Amino acid sequence: MTLNKERVQEIIAEILDVEIEEVLENANFVEDLEADSLKALELLAALEREFGIRISENKLGKLRSLNETYDVLVEIMC
């Protein structure tokens, strides 16, 4: 599956159980979208499954917003 920011946004909305429109590019998952910190692990697993990649554990702390998550994926996939 090729990298696509809209799809990343959809996955984040699904995992965080919020509307897609709420997942703004720089909205912080914990502070703005009321996610708990372990949602990042669920997000990591969902992104791995969707894009067929491995995201190392040390990237977990970088999955804080749509933009930051996308940057991590770009680094791995592009």
Partner 1 sequence: MSFSEITNILPHRYPFLLIDRIEKYEEDERIICIKNVTINESFFVGHFPEKPVMPGVLIVEAAAQAGILFFGKSNGLDSENEQEEYLLTSVKVNFIKSVVPGDTLWIEIIPIKLISSAGIFKFTCKVDEEIVSKGEFVFAVK
* Contact footprint for partner 1 (CB under 8 A): 36, 38-39, 41-42, 44-45, 48, 57, 60
Q: Which residue number, 16 or 23, has a Cβ lying nearer to partner 1?
A: 16
41 half-sphere exposure, CB direction, 13 A CA radius: 4
Q: How far is the CB of 65 from partner 1 (least distance, A)?
A: 20
The residues, any chain, with a CB within 8 Å of residue 35's CB and separated by 6 or more, are 16, 29
Contact status, residue 69 vs residue 43, Cβ threshold 8 Å: yes
Q: Which residue number, 42 or 68, has a Cβ lying nearer to partner 1?
A: 42
Q: How far is the CB of 37 from partner 1 (least distance, A)?
A: 8
